[in-house]
Structure 1
Amino acid sequence: MKIGDLSCRPEPIRLFLAVILCCGASGATFADEAFVDIRHFGAKPDGTTLCTEAIQRAIDSAAARGGGTVRFPPGKWRSGTIVLRSDVTLSLEEGCTLLGSGDLKDYPRHQPKIRSCADQYVNQSLILGEDLDRVAIRGRGCIDGNGKAFPGDDWPNRPFVIRLINCRDVLVEDVTLHNSAMWMQLYSVCDRVTVRGVTLFNHQKHHADGINIDGCHDVIISDCRFDCDDDGICLKSMSSRACENVTINNCHISSHCNAIKMGTHSLGGFKSIIISNCCIVSPRFSKVMLGRQRGTSGISLEIVDGGDMDRITISNIVMRGVSVPLFIRLGDKGRVVEPGTPKPPVGTLRNVICSNIVATEMSPIGCAITGLPGHLVEDVTLSNLHFSFEGGVQEARNQHPIPELPATYPECIMFGTLPAYGLWCRHVKGLRLINVRLRAASPDLRPAVVCDDVHDLDIGGLDVRISPGAESGVRLIDVNRAIIRGCQPDGSASAFLGVEGKASDRIALMGNDLRGVRRTHVQGEEVGDTAVRAIGNLMVPPNQ
């Protein structure tokens, strides 16, 4: 319906608009001028004419009137960097494509006022905004970054598609985003950002992330469909400002790397993050530029440059075919904003709850939750998880110590194939595994769960498959204060639980159905005689 067409409006609204029109020409003129058409400023929809100046004049004209909507009608509009203004909406109509210029000279460098680690990478963008209020990019049209026009992997010569810095009340809605030369979207130090209903396909370049949220507060990402070569949704903290109060829900994500990730940059940390109701699958696009065809991880939580991760909930997620469903890492890479500044201390990672996650067709690698000696991951709860792995590893890997690798780039493949086919947890305090089901599709001689230097361990209702020839279903190394209850392993082994390490103590095995194994537990000679107590477990009588 066009402006001024009142036939479908309710009577009160019709009367209100009629009063405005009767009060003088100024009201009608403002209504007309609230929409600015880029064609009126000389833009041509032929895909070859450079429309940067025309589009910028349209944006500036709308801003000069106190704000408005800049219309991109159907057609292909070629442009270099355009700069948003406060109170301006870009409206991309169906059939419209905003095409990034293939000439780097059309993207002037911009040094943000707020310094961050991103300054070391890229300072050019197709759509740019800094220090703005109430800006939006909406519509059924497409923004194509023309990434193929920027050959090579030289970071400084590959523009972002959308970059907003220190903006408030940002809305990106319903648009289609294609083919960035670098990260598709970067929102840095912004407040109240909503990205909703966005469809994104990004497989033309290395490091082709879908969206990066850097040090932003009050963010909603919902109802989006992302298919990327690199990370799908990535939260970062590249300055001292935390990512805080972020909700990610109802999204469909495919990535050759990490579907949803926090890190690796973590200077300011991540606090109060909710991830829910998402579907994660392997990309259909077969050409891999970075990562793996199947995807590296479903969800990765990483603190390696200092900073604190706190109050994270992840729930109602389904995954299929990625390498690893969950990776949690506290490390010490220690990058800084500017060269010469002090290295940040090791950060903290605590209060993480993951629940109601189903992941199938996972690789044999296994999941890792790891801190560092003296720097423990704290208070992690995994509940109602069903993880199915390929399995097939035919050695227990007990004799292969895993190095700490504190400064290594964090990713789920950093330790190689893990000592557990399901969950390997090291340097953790306050770990709860409740109603967790782990399966290996092919016989695997590794335990389902290995905990090393874990304190305050609670395992309840664990359902694991133990392959013939495996030494145990659960292996504890230097674990102090643990209770294992209500478990019912599937398969056979010499024992359900294996305990090692001089520090192992105060371990209780209670009320488990262990009729599929020969013994409740075995323990190394170095383990104290009273370190493990088995009480009220159901076993097959020896003569049966």
Structure 2
Amino acid sequence: MAVPLVRLLAAAVTVAALVTVVPPEPAHAATVSAPAATEPGWELADEIREAITPPRIPPRRVTITAHGADPTGRRDSTDAIAAAITAAARKGGGKVVVPPGEYRTGAIHLRSNIELHVSRGATLRFSQDPADYLPMVHTRWEGIELYNYSPFVYAYGVHDVAITGEGVLDGQADPEHWWPWKTEPDGHGGVVETEHRNALHAMAEQGVPVAQRRFADSKLRPNFVQFYRSSTILVSGVTLTNSPMWMIHPVLSENVLVDGVTLDSPDGPNSDGVNPESSRNVVIRNSRFNNGDDCIAVKSGRNADGRRIGVPSENIVIHDNRMFAGHGGVVIGSEMSGDVRNVFAERNVMNSPHLDRALRIKTNSVRGGTVEGVYFRDNDVPAVADAVIRINFHYEEGDVGDFTPTVRGIHIDNVHSVGGEFALYLRGYERSPITDITIRDSTFSEATTPMLLEHVRGLTFDNVTINGVSYDGTIDHGPRSHHRTPPALHQ
């Protein structure tokens, strides 16, 4: 049944080769057919939640103080923590308890059927000395495999593993430790980590075996918590703060639950909160994010190395979280060369002038990859700095590669926002437009520019208002068109 086409509104901005939608005169009115009903994809989200199983941890308790850990923080407790984990593992697993107190430690390596329980009043303070994270381990750094410093808490090839409690894991990264590798000039036009970062990228492109990808005196910062090729994982209740870079990083892992965790590292570079990478069946809920980079970023490997491994991230459910500072609330990319599909985010509150975007997908033709099946509903965005919805094929390198990305099937329902430079910022390629975006029952208020569009096909509105103006129908934009009058809307 036809319904009236109402006016489209945008601020008067000019961006070369971009589409901006501007207000029509009343004579431009037309009729369009009503959009289709809500997509059924949320049924899969419920199935994912129901399929998550808790780790099987024997009831046995082992305290780290019984193995010599020092709760005063005067002596290093690394060996005592390792001894407690080994003692529990030899008996089939159990809960390794960190009692109240402050404990100095280096790398902690978890094993199958082990729960590291950081009690209320307990703080694990991780060493600021890189030597305490040697020997090097098999890890992934910004989407590329190598041997590097151990993550502060690391689990490789394990099952049924947990980090729980109401205590604190303090990475002790600060402007004098870890962070300067990303921020201080190296005297050659880059920052301290540039040389090793560039060398790692070259190794991956040249197919150098992973075992040979390592650097003496590496300047590549370790992740905080990483689960690698592991399954049935729980992180619950704890607070992580002052991270060297990515905070919780499941890689090539399955059946992961992050529940009720506080991730607080707003000053650290690349201090993403939770980054599932090439992982499946992941639920992130009831958590608080305050980060110096993306709050949650779904990834699947970078460039040649991501394509070599070829494992997507899929079946990711994100719900009932609160997000404050960060480059993005729910983000996909930019390391997404192995594809991402079936990402669901609902009932999240994203509320900070220091949060740049609510939903973000970032890629380019060097990264490539396909993103499909993204569902974003019942999310409130009382404050945002840049864009509420931002999908950009021109991230970092831009369109200079041979691996054209694909983004399709984005479903946005009942989202309400205030502020931002853009309500929608969607930039695809002429040869690969962003395809099939549906926005329903949503309001975007006080956006400086309602829409900036480039190469978008099938952008459908149903009961949407932007800056108080109603949108219904579908917009298609052909290659590199620039409209001063509204584009036609149709079925």
What range describes the TM-score normalised by the shorter chain of this pair? Answer: 0.7 to 0.9
1:309 pairs with 2:374:
no
1:188 pairs with 2:251:
yes
Provide the C-alpha distance between the structure 1 equivalents of 2:108 and 2:484, rounded to a whole number of angstroms. Answer: 62
What SS class does the counterpart of residue 120 from structure 2 fall into? coil
Contact kept, 8 Å, 1:63 with 1:85, in 2: the verdict is: yes
**Alpha-carbon spacing, 1:263–1:508, altered in 2? closer, same or farther (3 Å):** closer
**Alpha-carbon spacing, 1:250–1:439, altered in 2? closer, same or farther (3 Å):** same
Provide the C-alpha distance between the structure 2 equivalents of 1:387 and 1:343, rounded to a whole number of angstroms. Answer: 34
**Corresponding residue for 2:169?**
143
Q: What's the CA shift for 1:331?
A: 4.7
Q: What's the CA shift for 1:82?
A: 1.2
What SS class does the counterpart of residue 81 from structure 2 fall into? helix
**For 1:310-362, what per-residue CA distance to the aligned partner results, in whole angstroms no more than 9, with x for missing partners?**
11110001012212111012358789xxxxxx9662121111101100001x2
Question: Out of 424, 440, 452, which is 2:452 matched to?
Answer: 424
1:460 pairs with 2:472:
yes
Q: Which has the higher strand share?
A: 1
**Number of aligned residues:** 385
Q: What's the CA shift for 1:367?
A: 2.3
Normalising to structure 2: TM-score of the pair? Answer: 0.72
Question: Out of 323, 329, 336, which is 2:392 matched to?
Answer: 329
1:103 pairs with 2:166:
no
Provide the C-alpha distance between the structure 1 equivalents of 2:401 and 2:427, rounded to a whole number of angstroms. Answer: 21
Unaligned stretches of 5+ residues in structure 2: 1-56, 183-191, 194-218
**For 1:377-401, what per-residue CA distance to the aligned partner results, in whole angstroms no more than 9, with x for missing partners?**
111101112111253xxxxxxxxxx
Instruction: Note the 1:364-403 alignment, pairs <5 A.
Output: 364-391=421-448
Report the more deviating stretch, 137-146 or 431-440. Answer: 431-440
**For 1:262-319, what per-residue CA distance to the aligned partner results, in whole angstroms no more than 9, with x for missing partners?**
101111111111110000011xxxxxxxxxx622211102343111111111000101
Match of 1:176, as an amino acid?
Answer: T
1:434 pairs with 2:462:
yes
**Corresponding residue for 1:62?**
88
Contact kept, 8 Å, 1:477 with 1:499, in 2: the verdict is: no
Contact kept, 8 Å, 2:125 with 2:170, in 1: the verdict is: yes
What SS class does the counterpart of residue 60 from structure 1 fall into? helix
Contact kept, 8 Å, 1:122 with 1:160, in 2: the verdict is: no
Provide the C-alpha distance between the structure 2 equivalents of 1:184 and 1:64, rounded to a whole number of angstroms. Answer: 29
Normalising to structure 1: TM-score of the pair? Answer: 0.66
Match of 2:431, as an amino acid?
Answer: G
**Corresponding residue for 1:363?**
420
Match of 2:357, as an amino acid?
Answer: S
* Identical aligned residues as a percent: 25
Bigger relative contact order, structure 1 or 2, given CA contacts below 8 A and separation 6+?
Answer: 2
Provide the C-alpha distance between the structure 1 equivalents of 2:58 and 2:292, rounded to a whole number of angstroms. Answer: 43
**Alpha-carbon spacing, 1:122–1:317, altered in 2? closer, same or farther (3 Å):** farther
Match of 1:328, as an amino acid?
Answer: I
Provide the C-alpha distance between the structure 1 equivalents of 2:453 and 2:143, rounded to a whole number of angstroms. Answer: 30
What SS class does the counterpart of residue 131 from structure 2 fall into? helix
1:275 pairs with 2:345:
yes
Match of 1:307, as an amino acid?
Answer: G
**Corresponding residue for 1:347?**
405
**Alpha-carbon spacing, 1:478–1:187, altered in 2? closer, same or farther (3 Å):** closer
Q: What's the CA shift for 1:246?
A: 0.6
Provide the C-alpha distance between the structure 2 equivalents of 1:232 and 1:222, rounded to a whole number of angstroms. Answer: 12
Provide the C-alpha distance between the structure 1 equivalents of 2:403 and 2:109, rounded to a whole number of angstroms. Answer: 38
**Corresponding residue for 1:534?**
none
**Corresponding residue for 1:241?**
311
**Corresponding residue for 2:276?**
213
1:160 pairs with 2:223:
yes
Q: What's the CA shift for 1:142?
A: 1.0
Contact kept, 8 Å, 1:436 with 1:461, in 2: the verdict is: no
1:47 pairs with 2:73:
yes
Q: What's the CA shift for 1:256?
A: 3.4
Root mean square deviation, CA, Å: 3.0
**Alpha-carbon spacing, 1:300–1:199, altered in 2? closer, same or farther (3 Å):** same
Contact kept, 8 Å, 1:192 with 1:219, in 2: the verdict is: yes
Match of 2:360, as an amino acid?
Answer: S
Q: What's the CA shift for 1:364?
A: 3.3
**Alpha-carbon spacing, 1:233–1:83, altered in 2? closer, same or farther (3 Å):** same
Contact kept, 8 Å, 1:104 with 1:157, in 2: the verdict is: no
* Higher CA-based Rg: 1
What SS class does the counterpart of residue 63 from structure 1 fall into? helix
Unaligned stretches of 5+ residues in structure 1: 1-29, 283-292, 336-341, 392-420, 441-447, 450-458, 463-474, 481-495, 501-506, 511-544
Provide the C-alpha distance between the structure 2 equivalents of 1:187 and 1:77, rounded to a whole number of angstroms. Answer: 25
Contact kept, 8 Å, 1:269 with 1:303, in 2: the verdict is: no
Contact kept, 8 Å, 2:246 with 2:272, in 1: the verdict is: yes
What SS class does the counterpart of residue 164 from structure 1 fall into? strand
**Corresponding residue for 2:234?**
171
What SS class does the counterpart of residue 87 from structure 2 fall into? helix
Question: Out of 315, 322, 326, which is 1:256 matched to?
Answer: 326
Q: What's the CA shift for 1:198?
A: 0.6
Contact kept, 8 Å, 2:372 with 2:407, in 1: the verdict is: yes
Q: What's the CA shift for 1:477?
A: 6.3
Q: What's the CA shift for 1:122?
A: 5.8
Provide the C-alpha distance between the structure 2 equivalents of 1:107 and 1:233, rounded to a whole number of angstroms. Answer: 25
**Corresponding residue for 2:288?**
225
